[in-house]
Amino acid sequence: MKIINTDLQARAVLQLVTATALFFAGTLIFGYRLLEPTQQLVYHSISSSFQVLMIAIGGSVLLRSYKREHKHYRRFASLLAALAVLAIIDGSTGSIFDHFDAQIPVYLYLIYLPLALSLLPIFPPAEQRRAWQQEFIKLNAGYALGVASLSFTFLLLHLFLKSPLVAKHPTGSLVICVTGILAGVAIYSTHYRGRRPLPRLSNASANFTSLAIFVVLIFGLGMFHSDMSGLKLKGDRAIKQLRDSRIALGESNIKLFERLGERWKLYPYAAHSRLMEVDINAYLQHIDYLDALLLVSPDNEVVFERLKPSRPSYLDEMMTDPVVRQALEQPPQATQLIVPMFAVESLSAKAIVRVAVDFVEPEGTADSGVYSLLALLDVRSMLDSTLVNNMETDIETYTEVMPGAWMDRSGFWISASTRDYLEETAIRLKLDSMDMYYSKGAPVMAYLYKLDNLQETSNLQMLIVLGGISLVLLVVLAVERNVTLEVQGKQLFYQAHHDALTGLMNRSSIEEYIGRHFHDSQDVTVLFIDLDGFTLINDSLGLHVGDAILIQLAERLQGQQPRRSELARFASDEFILVLQGAVNFPERVSTLAQDIMLTVAQPYRINEHKIYLTASVGVAHQTGDVRSPLELIQRADMAMHQAKRLGYNHVQEYDKSMAQRLLSTTAMRSNLQEAIEQDELELHYQPIVRCNDQQRVQVEALLRWQQQDGSYIPPSEFIPLAEMTGQIVPLSEWVFRRACHDAVKLQQSASKLRMSVNISALHFNRANFVDFVLHTLAETGCQAQWLELELTESILLEGTQYAIERLQALRTYGLTIALDDFGTGFSSLSCLKRLPIDTVKIDRSFIAGIRHHKSDRVLVDSVIKIAQSLDFAVLAEGIETRQQAEFVSDLGCNYMQGYYFGRPVPFKNL
C-alpha cells in the first residue's frame, strides 16, 4: 500500500494553495486594471509587469505540478516561465506598458529572476537528474524559502512602520510582499521534493481551493475598490470645496476693490484726495491680507503707494516685474487678477488685483485717461480664514496659478522638496480644472498627502486576505488528511482482505466467506489447488518469475470462476475456490477441477522463459459431519496432499480414510519424537557373508521401533515420516552413536565383525556431518576402519561434486563407503566411476526376480562385472534362497546378505 507521506502531503497543499492564490491574485488585479482605467495612481498600485509576473509564476507552478503528464501542458508551463522572465526584464528596465511609475525597486524584479528561471525546463525530470543537478534544484528551493522569509519580514515591517517600503502605494507594497511569500513557498514546495514527486491531491481539494481563493481575493479586491473609491470621492470633494472657496473668496475680494474704484470715480474733485486717503487708511487697517495700495496713471507712472504698517515698499518690485508691466501695458478694462513673478519666488504667494479707475475731471479739463488701482494681497493671510483651510484632512489640493507655479490650499507655493514628496510619495487622487469669472481652466490637483491611515487600512485589508488564504490552507490540509485517512483505511481494509500480489481474497477473508455460507446455505464445496514443483521455479528462475506466474494463474482462474463462487490465494502457491450449491452435483465439480488443471497446464511466458506447470486439486463437500468451516478447508487440503501422493497432476475427492491416515501419521510423529527423546528405539543386526566361503564378516545395523505390546512398527512406515518431518536427522545421529558403541563391543569379541551403518541423505548433507562423525568416533572410542557407511543414491540429488568431496573426506579418515539400493534411484552406471565408494549393494528387487526374469539376471551380471572392473566390491541384498546365493556366487559377487543367512537380531543375540 502506498501511504502518503505527511510532509509531502503538506508541501503539496502549500504548493496548491499558494500557486492558486498567486495566479488568481495576478489575474484579478490585471483584470481590475483593465476594467477600472480611471485614477491610475490610485487603482494601479503595482505595475503591469509585476501583475504578469504573478500570473506567469502561479500558472507555471500549477501546470508543472498538476498537468505534468501532458506534454502540451508542460510546454505551456515553460512558456509561462519564459513570460515571467520577460516581465522581470520589462519591469526592471521600466515598463513600456505603464505611463506611471509604481516605484518598485529594480532589485525586487531581480530577486524574482532565479525563481522564474528555475521553472524553465533546464534539467531533466527528477528521477533522471544527476547528483549535482539535484543539489542545484534543492539550492534553488532554499533560495525560494529565503525569498519567502524576507518577504514576510517586510510584511511585518509594514505593520510596525505604517509606511510603504517597496512600492508607492501601500496596498501595492503589501501585494509585492505577499507575492514574495506565495511565490517563494510555491517554488520551494515544487523543487524541494528530491526524486519523489509530490502526491496528487484530490479533485475536491483543487476545486475547493480555486473557489475559496477566488472568493477571498474578490472580497479583498472589493475592500480595496471601496477604499479607493472613497479616496477618489474625497479628492473630488476636496477640489469642489477648493473651487467653491476660491470662487467665493475671489468674487468677494474683487467686488471689494471694485466698489472702492467706483467710489473714487464718484468723489467730487475738490474732496477727492481727502476721501481717497480715508478709504485707503480704512482698507489698510481693516483688511488683514492687504499689504499695499498703488495708484498708477494711464502712462504707467505710480501716483502713490500706501503700505500697511511694518510692510516694506513693493514699488520697485512691482514696477519692474515683467508680469505686472505686461499687464499695465494693456489698457485697463475689466478687473484683473495678476500674480507677479516676484511673488512666486517668495514663500508666501502674493496676488495683485487691478481695478480700472476713471476719475471725474473738472469742467474744462481734458480727460487724462483711466488709472489703475493695484491692490497687493497676501494670499496666505487671505486664505487663512477660509473654511477649506480649517479642515483636518490627509488630502491636499494644489492649484496651478501660472505655468509651472502651483499653490497649495493655504497659499504657499510648492517647494522643490514638496514637489519631490508629491512625485515620490504622495498619491494623486484627481486632476481637474477650475473656472472662475476672472480665470478659465486653472489646473487643480488633489493628493493624498499623508499615507498613515491608508497604510493602516491596507494592512488590515491584507491581513484579512492572508487570513482567508491561511484558512483555505488549513481547510484543504484537513480535507486532504481526511481523504488520506479514508484512502488509507480503504487500502488497509483491502489489504486485510485481499492478497497483495494477485488481488484475490486472502486466507482470512476466504475463511470468513466460507464461515458465512457454511451456516447459512450449508451447501459449500471447497477446491484446494496447489501447484506441483513451484518451489523449484522460485529457486531456479527467481521469485519475480514465480510472482509473474501466480499473477497470470490468478487471472486465468478468475476467467474460469463460475457463478456463486469466490477465489482466494490461500498461501504461497495454494489457491482455494469456494462453490455454493454444488454439493449435490459432484460431477460438475469434477469437470470444473479437470478444467482447472488444464488451465494451469497451459504454458506461461515470462520474458524469455516458457514454463509448464501442473496442479494437484483436492475437493471437499460440506456434509453433516463437518463441524466447522476450517475443517472443510482441512479436508480439501488432505485430499490435495493425497492427490500429490498419487503422482501429482491429479484430482482427489476427500474420503474418511484420509483423515484416519492423517490422524495415524500425526500420532506416529508424536510417538516417534517421544521414542527418540526417551531412548525407546533399538538396533538389530543382520549378518553379511562372503560369497566364496559364506563366512560372516560384517553386520548391518537396522533400526527397530518396538511398541508396548511387543510388536514392531516397520521402518517403511516411520522412516519416510521422519524424513518428511525432519526427525530423520536426530534419528540418524542416534543410530550412528549406538552403532559405534556396538562396533567397539564387536571388536572386543572373538568375531571382530565390522559394522555397516545406514546414513540418511538429509543427515549426510548437513554442513557439520563430517565433524559429527569424527566427534562421535572419538567420543565412543570406535575406529574408522571398523565402520562402513551406507548411503543411497539420493545423495546425488543435492549435487554430485559436493557429495564426492564429502565422501573423499570420509574415506581419508579410514571409513569405507557403500552405495545402498543401487539401481532404484537416479544414478546410472556411468556415475560409478566418479563416486569414491568401496562397495555397491544391488537392491533386493533385482535379486528377487533372477529366477523368473532373464532381464534381472542379465542386469545383475552386468552390475557385478562393471562394479568389479572399477575395483568396487559387490554385495547382493535380499538373498532368501540357496539358489539365489549360488547364482550370485557363480557370477563372482563378493558379499551376500539376506534372510537365508539370518534375520536381524538384537546385539545380545549375535
Q: What is the pLDDT of residues 212-225, one digit of tens each?
A: 999 999 999 999 88
Residue 351's SS3 state is: strand
Burial state string for 470-502 with b = 16 or more CB within 10 A and e = fewer than 16: eebbebbbebbeebbeeeeeeeeeeeeebbeeb
Whether the pLDDT of residue 156 is over 60: the answer is yes
656-677 vs 629-645: helix crossing angle, rounded to 10:
80
Q: Which amino acid is at 732?
A: S
Region 826-854 average pLDDT: 76
Continuous H helices in 498-585: 507-520, 534-541, 543-560
What's the rounded mean pLDDT across residues 548-555? Answer: 91
Q: What is the pLDDT confidence band of residue 2, given thresholds at 50, 70 and 90? A: very low
In this structure, which amino acid lies at residue 187? I
Per DSSP, the three-state class of 344 is: helix
Angstrom distance (rounded) from CA 531 to CA 573 = 6
Higher pLDDT: 404 or 222? It is 222
**From residue 24, how far is each of 40, 62, 186, 217 by CA, in Å?**
21, 11, 14, 8
3-state secondary structure of 189: helix
pLDDT in tens, 529-547: 999 888 888 888 888 888 9
- Name the grid cell of 870: 572399477
Q: Specify the pLDDT at position 743.
A: 94
Mean pLDDT of the chain: 84
Q: How confident is the model at residue 364 (pLDDT cuts 50, 70, 90)?
A: low
Find the DSSP H helices in 653-714. Answer: 656-677
Q: Which cell goes with 30?
A: 490585471
> Is the predicted pLDDT of residue 902 greater than 60, yes or no?
yes
Instruction: Return the pLDDT at 201.
Output: 78
Range in 296-305, 614-623, 725-734, 828-837 with the lowest mean pLDDT: 828-837
Is pLDDT of 3 > 50? no
Strand partners, 706: 712
What is the reported pLDDT for 775? 94
Size (the chain), residues: 910
Q: Which helix (H) or strand (E) holds 115?
A: helix 106-118
**3-state DSSP percent of the chain in helix, strand and coil, to 5:** 55, 20, 25
Q: How far is CA 508 from CA 293, 470, 481, 496, 749, in A?
A: 115, 46, 29, 8, 64
